[in-house]
A and B are shown apart, each in its own frame.
Chain A
Amino acid sequence: KAGVTQTPRYLIKTRGQQVTLSCSPISGHRSVSWYQQTPGQGLQFLFEYFSETQRNKGNFPGRFSGRQFSNSRSEMNVSTLELGDSALYLCASSLAYVGSLNEKLFFGSGTQLSVL
């Protein structure tokens, strides 16, 4: 069974640009969560989508947005990039939504974003 697939693997952008990251969950998984990982802050929750609806959102500015398609694939968008947005962006999928009682998250390898 294929795992969580994230594209692209690496991305270099300049300040002010926008970026779109893509995530394909494990087949049959309907929940997709996004995390930002930095050396200083660790894993920080961005948002979670389940059946095309955003179920939960972390404490990130409105420049960070996402969506989920009917086939459960998800995209994350960051507009007006800042230097501090440089991070590893991880997507995770699960069978049930994270608010259910038995969720297990399976992560992709991430997209390493560098903002210059």
Chain B
Amino acid sequence: QKEVEQDPGPLSVPEGAIVSLNCTYSNSAFQYFMWYRQYSRKGPELLMYTYSSGNKEDGRFTAQVDKSSKYISLFIRDSQPSDSATYLCAMSRSYGGATNKLIFGTGTLLAVQP
């Protein structure tokens, strides 16, 4: 079983829809949670960064972390065709040290239809 599970999609929605992207994880030591957006033929771009549980909002994007359920979400309001990309979740443990590293989900491909 992978440490981080993410539905690969593809997810197709009409323009203006609310999009919900999710990841589940198994390691309760994860405390830092990130969402990256990756356009075709480009590297991942950091979108949201949260620590521990709770919500964080940035414009049309809201990141939500539920540590009790080991479940994180990214919501996109008023989705636009320019949001069409692969969304990757990533997480790392709460303590430092040489063995700590980011663990990525496999990504969800999102297509927003005009």
Interface positions of A (Cβ within 8 A of B):
4, 6, 33, 35, 41-43, 45, 48, 55-56, 58, 90, 92, 98-110, 112
Contact = CB atoms under 8 A, between A and B. Distances in A.
A25 to B, nearest CB: 13
A105 B98 contact: no
Contacts of A45: 101-102
26 contacts: A33-B101, A41-B106, A42-B88, A42-B107, A43-B44, A43-B88, A43-B106, A43-B107, A45-B101, A56-B98, A56-B99, A58-B101, A92-B43, A98-B101, A99-B96, A99-B97, A99-B99, A99-B100, A102-B32, A103-B92, A104-B34, A104-B49, A105-B102, A107-B45, A109-B43, A110-B43
Interface of B: 32, 34, 36, 41-46, 49, 88, 90, 92, 94-102, 104-107
